Amino acid sequence: MIGELNHVAIAVPDLRKASLQYKDVFGADVSEPLALPEHGVTVVFVNLPNSKIELLHPLGEESSIKKFLDKNPAGGIHHLCFEVGDIMAASKKLLSKGHRILGSGKPRIGAHGKEVLFLHPKDNFGALIELEQK
Amino acid sequence: MIGELNHVAIAVPDLRKASLQYKDVFGADVSEPLALPEHGVTVVFVNLPNSKIELLHPLGEESSIKKFLDKNPAGGIHHLCFEVGDIMAASKKLLSKGHRILGSGKPRIGAHGKEVLFLHPKDNFGALIELEQK
């Protein structure tokens, strides 16, 4: 079911500082900040040869990243994203195994313009997992 | 400096259950458990097409994973590991930028038999980062 590790997201309290660190200290290829108001985040993509890091900063008062940073003011690893070949089949299988899908329980369009689902961390050993249609 | 995302480590309170979930629910290729007493962990590798997940469970009373699970009993994402081409040069650059290297400050042999360093989460927006010699 799961394919490639699409990205790891890190919530950061200072996006400019985090972006500069990945660029100048770690020598990675980083994107310009991209505002995604419908997801409540501004994101910087750190492009690695085999995967991506997404640096997330809250955008708007209802941002789930704002709530995460309220609890973790220094920032922290927020979630992992796995690609799946058929997100509806994956969703059906997970629900049949008793997994909880966050929000409406149906796929929505994610930061890359593809369908995504978020799985409950309590069903995944404390890790917030996003599934993205490949 | 940083190259591929070598792995993401998840600390889990029940290694057998976590391993079965990644194998049977997520349909991933998982290894047999591997005891690494010198690192205070038993590890299961989840082999993805482009990277790995490492499921970590404490081994021994001095395990840093035991302390992590004491604080996060359900488990959680523990660290990220980036490959570097020259770990001594990376270490020198990081120290010159004021970054703190955990432990003795010198590379030690990691779970894959290669030299590794761990960087202080407070210098990395709350994320524990391992660097591994490629």
User: Does the pLDDT value for residue A18 go beyond 90?
Assistant: yes
Question: How high is the pLDDT of residue A13?
Answer: 98
From the candidates A54, A115, A130, A132, which is the catalytic residue?
A130
Higher-pLDDT residue of B104, A16: A16
Residue of B18, B74, B122 with shortest CB distance to A74: B122
What average pLDDT score do residues B68-92 get? Answer: 97
SS3 A82: strand
By the CB < 8 Å criterion, does B58 face chain A?
no
What average pLDDT score do residues B64-81 get? Answer: 96
Question: How high is the pLDDT of residue A84?
Answer: 98
Chain A residues in contact with B49 by the CB 8 A cut-off are 3-4
pTM: 0.96
Report how many domains make up chain B. Answer: 1
By the CB < 8 Å criterion, does B27 face chain A?
yes
B115 catalytically annotated: no
User: Does the pLDDT value for residue B105 go beyond 90?
Assistant: no
What average pLDDT score do residues B70-87 get? Answer: 97
Give the other-Cβ count within 10 Å of A89's Cβ: 11
Chain A residues in contact with B55 by the CB 8 A cut-off are 125
Give the Cα separation of A68 and A3 in Å (integer).
27
Question: How high is the pLDDT of residue B11?
Answer: 98
Give the Cα separation of A120 and A71 in Å (integer).
18
By the CB < 8 Å criterion, does B28 face chain A?
yes
* Residue in B with minimal Cα distance to A95: B25
User: Which range marks the domain in which residue A77 is found?
Assistant: 2-133
B74 to A12: CB separation less than 8 angstroms, yes or no? no
pLDDT tens-digit map of A68-111: 999 999 999 999 999 999 999 999 999 999 999 998 888 988 88
Pairing mode of beta strands B34-36, A76-84: unpaired
Give the Cα separation of B103 and A78 in Å (integer).
25
B125 to A82: CB separation less than 8 angstroms, yes or no? no
pLDDT tens-digit map of A26-43: 999 999 999 999 889 999
What average pLDDT score do residues A52-62 get? Answer: 95
User: Does the pLDDT value for residue B112 go beyond 90?
Assistant: no
B74 to A49: CB separation less than 8 angstroms, yes or no? no
Residue of B53, B76, B97 with shortest CB distance to A126: B76
End-to-end CA distance of chain A: 11
User: Does the pLDDT value for residue B131 go beyond 90?
Assistant: yes
One-letter identity of residue B44:
V
Average pLDDT, rounded, for chain A: 95
User: Does the pLDDT value for residue B91 go beyond 90?
Assistant: yes
Question: How high is the pLDDT of residue A124?
Answer: 97
What CATH number is attached to the domain comprising B60? Answer: 3.10.180.10
* Residue in B with minimal Cα distance to A94: B25
